[in-house]
Amino acid sequence: MASEASTAALRLDDIERRLLDRADSASVEELGTIASALKSVAEARFTELNAHNKGRETWLEMFKSIAAILVPLVSLLALAGTVVYQNKQIEATRQQTEDTEWRDLLASLKGVSDTVYSDPTVAPRLRSFFTSQVYGDQAKSIAGRLMGHISNPDGFRDLYSAVFGDVTDGNAGSVADIGRALMTSEAALHGQCNDLMNGAKIPFDRDMLDCGVYVDDARATELSARLNVPAQVATMRRSVLQLDREQAFVVTKLTEYLRENYRLPRDHRRNPGLDLSGLGIVLRDFSDLDLTDFTINGTLFDTVDFRGTVLNTKARVEGRPGSSDVPDFRGSTWWEAKSIEPDLLVFLIQWYYPYLRADTRYPVGYRITQDAYLAKARALCAAAAITCPSPMKFGPQQP
């Protein structure tokens, strides 16, 4: 458009110059005609100038309109930038606060003491970091290690639910590790209690063995007062009972998983054997499970129902019961199993025959006669292609 205006201006200038050249030698009559022509050129130039100015005015109005639109947009962008900057500042402040809280938590856990394990604030403080992008994984890892020692059932369950939830193929081994750690912590407290009693020269009473956890609170209180038991024993007894509750919680979760995934017939390729070593499995239903290739070194099976179970497990069975790596089948109906690994079967016949002790308890309502036991044990020996040990013992049956 600018080039067209420039061309038009040059054309008018050329016409005007030619008219002026003719005026030098023109007559009076011709001068009037030339003057009229010059006037027309001047009017054309004026019209062209107006048109050019009009275009500029149009562009100016368009610019004003665009500016009116851009001003709010620029303001909005400026506001957005301010919000982003403020959010960055808030996030930086929040991260600094989180960093400080994390350092404080780690400082409180450094050289962890029994007081920390029983502290009800440890679990919620740890749990508050589980959603952190920076410390989430570390918090869950620390929680997993602490759960084997925490003697606070509510805090323990809170952490367990947040870290593990339901037992799955992917976390079953880790859950079993927690159960083992709880069993170890409980055994350590038993030893500490017994050492404390011996050190204080308290007369031996079987009911006060292992912190007195085998009797009710009233009996433990009565014995503690009569024997002048150190006050620390009551605190340790409470911790043992809490650890026992936590272990029962873990074993319940594992049992639910086993009953869902290891019932007969079992898919051995999809569900390989698990390591249950060192767990305390009490009052559980293991009937109709296939425990082939399970490791049970040092596992306690107390009052466990084994009806129809395949006990082709891996276990150290050399020596007498009582060692930490030998399984314990007290009060469990192993002779009701479908099949048993030969070495384990010989071990059970020798050391865990029915009614071994006067206080032996079995699953509620269970009774067996000597003839029935001998028939079942011999059938298991035949299935394992071995000769049953002789003689096969049977304890005094209890009412």
In SS3 terms, 191-231 reads as: HHHHHHHHHCCCCCCHHHHHHHCCCCHHHHHHHHHHHCCCC
The answer to whether position 253 is within a domain reads: no
Number of domains in the chain: 2
The answer to whether position 29 is within a domain reads: yes
Backbone angle region of 210, left / alpha / beta, with phi > 0 → left and psi within -120 to 50 → alpha: left
The answer to whether position 348 is within a domain reads: yes
Query: Domain end: 87, 105, 123, which one?
Result: 105
The answer to whether position 359 is within a domain reads: yes
The answer to whether position 284 is within a domain reads: yes
Q: What is the structure's pLDDT at 399?
A: 44
Q: What is the structure's pLDDT at 94?
A: 81
129 vs 125: CA distance, rounded Å = 7
Domain containing 31: what range? 2-105
Q: What is the structure's pLDDT at 61?
A: 72
Query: Domain end: 48, 74, 105, which one?
Result: 105
Query: Is the CB of residue 305 less than 8 Å from the CB of residue 287?
Result: yes
Q: How many CB atoms lie within 10 A of CB 249?
A: 17
The answer to whether position 270 is within a domain reads: yes
Q: What is the structure's pLDDT at 394?
A: 94
The answer to whether position 181 is within a domain reads: no
Cis peptide before 120 (omega within 30 of 0): no
The answer to whether position 367 is within a domain reads: yes
Q: What is the mean pLDDT of each run of 10 residues along the chain (399 residues)?
A: 58 69 64 68 71 70 72 75 75 82 80 65 82 85 82 86 89 93 92 94 92 93 93 92 94 97 94 95 97 96 97 89 87 97 96 89 90 97 96 79
Q: Which of 116, 124, 109, 249 is nearest to 175 (CA)?
A: 249
Query: Domain end: 75, 105, 135, which one?
Result: 105
What sign for the dihedral angle of Cα 337, 312, 263, 279? Answer: positive
Q: What is the structure's pLDDT at 222?
A: 94
